Homo-oligomer: A and B are copies of this chain.
Amino acid sequence: MLFRNFVHTSTVAKPKLDRKTLIQNSLSVFKTKGYNGTSMQDLASANGLLKGSFYHYIESKEALMLEVLQSLKEHYTKRIFVIAYDVKLSAYDRLALLAKKAEEVFMFEEGGDFFVNIGLETKNTVPAFTVVIQEFFAEWLKAMHSIFSAVMDKEEAKVKAEIVVAEIEGSVILMKLLEDPTFLSRTNSKMLAEFKKLETQNVVN
Contacts and interface: CB of A to CB of B under 8 A. Distances in A.
A200 interface: no
Interface residues of A, number: 41
A35 B36 CA distance: 9
Contact of A34 (B121, B163, B187): B121
Q: Which of A35, A110, A116, A190 has the most CB of B within 10 A?
A: A116
**Interface majority SS on A: helix, strand, loop or mixed?**
helix
B170 A183 contact: no
Contact of A173 (B122, B159, B170, B187): B170
B163 A190 contact: yes
Contact of A125 (B33, B117, B163): B33
Q: Give the oligomeric copy count.
A: 4
Interface string A32-49: 111111000000000000
Given A163-B187, A178-B137, A183-B162, A171 B173 contact: no
A166 B163 CA distance: 11
Contact of A174 (B165, B178, B183): B165
A196 to B, nearest CB: 18
A146 B58 CA distance: 53
